[in-house]
Amino acid sequence: MLDQQLFSVLFQLATASSFAQRATVWLGVQLPYWTCAAAAVHEWFIRQPHKIPRSLVRIFVPGIVVWVFAWVLKAWFFLPRPIIVLGIVPIITVNDQYGAFPSAHATFFGALAVSIFFRDRRAGLLFFCAALVVAFARVAGGVHWPSDALGGLALGAVAAVLAQFGFNWFDQRARAAAASGIVSGS
């Protein structure tokens, strides 16, 4: 019930004018591309050149992996989008009518933001704000319920935390192996 009420408020705001509709589409469709580019540029400028590939892996791979997992969950849960339940015409177009939960966009950008947060807190907070904007623009655009967006953000954040533990474990094993001479090839 609260999900539908919050959705209705956001959708009404997004459909209030042609400017609001264009802004919603831009925030829900174009901002994700700009956010990914900004994340790559951010890492490019703050890392030493030899650390950039490793850093890009650490911020993007958790998001990509959990994005795939989100699509598996969508197929498993098979929940209808607001456009089906409410019979509305969405502002943002989607191909699947029953892929509501979780929002793959929110999942990916939640993971991206938390991954960046582990490397740079201030930037991570900015990217989390971008993740919130993208997630709720998708809600306002008529293709997700608020719970889809929040569930996606939470799933992405958990995946990024687990990935960070995995990366730390791998780093410790690699340092231990290097210290014992196993990796040196001698």
pLDDT of residue 183: 55
Kindly write down the DSSP assignment for every residue of 43-105, as one continuous string.
HHHHS-GGGHHHHHHHHHHHHHHHHHHHHHHHHHH-PPPHHHHS-PPPSS--S-SS--SS-HH
Side chain identity, residue 167: F
Residue 127 and residue 130: Cα distance in Å, rounded? Answer: 5
Query: Which tokens belong to 59?
Result: 């911020």
Looking at the chain, how many residues does it have?
Answer: 186
Instruction: State which fold the 19-172 domain adopts.
Output: Vanadium-containing Chloroperoxidase; domain 2 (1.10.606)
Domain range summary for the chain, segments of one domain joined by +? 19-172
Q: Which residues make Cβ contacts (< 8 Å) with residue 14, sequence separation at least 6? A: 20, 21, 23, 24, 91, 137, 140, 141, 142
Per-residue pLDDT of the chain (186 residues; tens, 9 = 90+): 788 888 888 888 888 899 988 999 999 999 999 999 999 999 888 888 888 888 888 889 999 999 999 999 988 888 888 888 888 888 888 887 788 899 999 999 999 999 999 988 999 999 999 999 999 999 999 899 999 999 999 999 999 999 999 988 988 888 887 777 665 554
